[in-house]
């Protein structure tokens, strides 16, 4: 069945690969990011499905941008079946140096701006008594890792938010999923100056996510061995964890 899907952060990385998959499957896909020409490039690359693609450039921090984009989607397709928030920023050097302005920007883009989409889209989904919401977090949100700072905090908050939303949305037949990837090859992880264990390509990550969303899993985490190791760190005593994490600093 054809779905109406809105992907935020579709100009690169996981967001772009998710858009490619859903477009190739014949779904209606609205793609959003700040960079309009990248969205247009994505649409042109999939020209055989052009009528099913709606590029909507916006700044996730701007509520007016979001409201205008949502109105265009509803006018064109009447409803939204799936919202995916994949927008995010990460700069390891600024995190290590505790850049205050950057830290505020990370929280704003990675976390706070989710609500600009969440509240109005949930309103639309409630009207239809159906829908699906997926927020991209990270295994970095499982515990406070060294040099993770505001990034890890934003991802931990997203996990917490999804746990809360899952229960709240069930009465309206709206499913909620949190996606916790490990290292995924992208322009963000290209900034890291250390060896990243179990790193995978963005297209492979997108396939795993699509499969999980089709099954309406609450948590989609990968790669399995890496995420399992970090899940174990979640349950060990703080004294043990802090001893282990202190050895992670370069």
pLDDT by residue (tens digit) across 200-228?
Answer: 999 999 999 999 999 999 999 999 988 98
The CA distances from residue 143 to 22, 69, 230, in Å, are 32, 35, 8
Q: What is the C-alpha to C-alpha distance for residues 120 and 80, in angstroms, rounded to an integer?
A: 11
Q: What is the DSSP string of 124-153?
A: HHHHHT-EEEEEE--GGGSS--TTTHHHHH
pLDDT at 46: 85
Q: For residue 29, what pLDDT is reported?
A: 97
Lowest average pLDDT, out of 4-18, 74-88, 105-119, 185-199, goes to 185-199
Give the lowest-confidence range in 23-32, 72-81, 108-117, 230-239.
230-239
Kindly list the domain boundaries of the chain, sorted by start residue: 4-246
pLDDT in tens, 74-106: 999 999 999 999 999 877 666 666 788 989 999
pLDDT band of 190, cuts 50, 70, 90: low
Q: Please give the residue that has the higher pLDDT: either 46 or 63.
A: 63
b/e code 45-77 from CB counts within 10 Å (16+ = b):
ebeebeebbbbbbbbbeeeebbeebbeebbeeb
Instruction: Give the mean pLDDT of 143-152.
Output: 82
Distance CA 248, CA 47 (A): 46
- Out of 3.30.70.20, 3.40.50.720, 3.90.930.60, 3.40.1190.20, the CATH code matching 4-246 is 3.40.50.720
């Amino acid at each position: 069945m054809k779905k109406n899907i809105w992907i935020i952060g579709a100009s690169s990385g996981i967001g772009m690969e998710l858009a490619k998959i859903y477009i190739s499957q014949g779904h209606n896909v609205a793609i959003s990011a700040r960079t309009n020409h990248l969205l247009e490039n994505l649409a042109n690359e999939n020209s055989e499905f052009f009528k099913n693609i709606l590029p909507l450039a916006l700044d996730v921090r701007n509520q007016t941008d979001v409201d205008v984009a949502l109105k265009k989607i509803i006018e064109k397709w009447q409803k939204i079946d799936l919202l995916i928030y994949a927008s995010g920023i990460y700069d390891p050097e600024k995190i290590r140096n505790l850049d205050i302005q950057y830290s505020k920007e990370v929280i704003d883009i990675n976390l706070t701006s989710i609500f600009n989409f969440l509240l109005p889209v949930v309103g639309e989904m409630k009207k239809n008594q159906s829908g699906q919401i997926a927020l991209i977090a990270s295994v970095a949100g499982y515990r406070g890792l060294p040099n993770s700072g505001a990034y890890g905090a934003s991802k931990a908050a997203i996990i917490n938010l999804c746990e809360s939303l899952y229960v709240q949305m069930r009465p309206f037949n709206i499913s909620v999923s949190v996606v916790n990837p490990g290292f995924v090859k992208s322009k963000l992880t290209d900034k890291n100056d250390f060896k990243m264990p179990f790193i995978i390509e963005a297209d492979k990550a997108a396939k795993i996510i699509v499969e999980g969303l089709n099954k309406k899993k609450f948590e989609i985490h990968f790669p399995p061995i890496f995420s399992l190791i970090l899940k174990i760190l979640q349950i060990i005593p703080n004294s043990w964890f802090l001893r282990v994490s202190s050895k992670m600093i370069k």
